Amino acid sequence: MQSKISEDEGSYEKPSDEELKEMLTKKQYEVTQKNGTEPAFQNEYWDNEKEGIYVDVVSGEVLFSSKDNFKSGSGWPSFSKPLEPDNIVTQKESGILDNRTEVKSKHAGSHLGHLFDDGPQPTGKRYCMNSASLKFIPKEELEEKGYSEYLYLFEED
């Protein structure tokens, strides 16, 4: 029941709240729709070392590549940059935990995690994401899942 954005971005519509509750787990709903955070080191992708891409669990919009994944020690999947920057929206949030930069998916508006300035060079960025917001597509499944345009990332030189 996963939706994938068509080439015509204008035709994308976020599923209704009722549909989201049916298609997502309780944790995925809490994180993506209520700005929740899953526990560090107790989430699906915090130590994933497989090659592939990460998409929004709600919309299927492409977000990150395993090529930009790094071990941050935070207990959450971390990336130095987005694979598709146009699918990422950042906004400042202020609260108890200082001022942070929230990261959301552009089309679905899913809460993904936060952006920090303590990542590796050359970007110096750390996109610290919740696994519950992401769906991992292994390189072997890119074509069958409709993401064949990203196969080039994993071709041998």
| The overall pTM is greater than 0.85 | yes
Q: Which position among 128, 132, 134, 137 bears the catalytic label?
A: 128
Residue 128 annotated among the catalytic residues of the structure:
yes
pLDDT tens per residue, range 34-74: 999 999 999 999 999 999 999 999 999 999 999 999 999 99
Q: Say yes or no: domain 39-141 is CATH 2.170.150.20.
A: yes
d(CA 78, CA 47): 10
CA proximity to 97, closest of 156, 145, 147, 35: 35
pLDDT tens per residue, range 103-146: 999 999 999 999 999 999 999 999 999 999 999 999 999 999 99
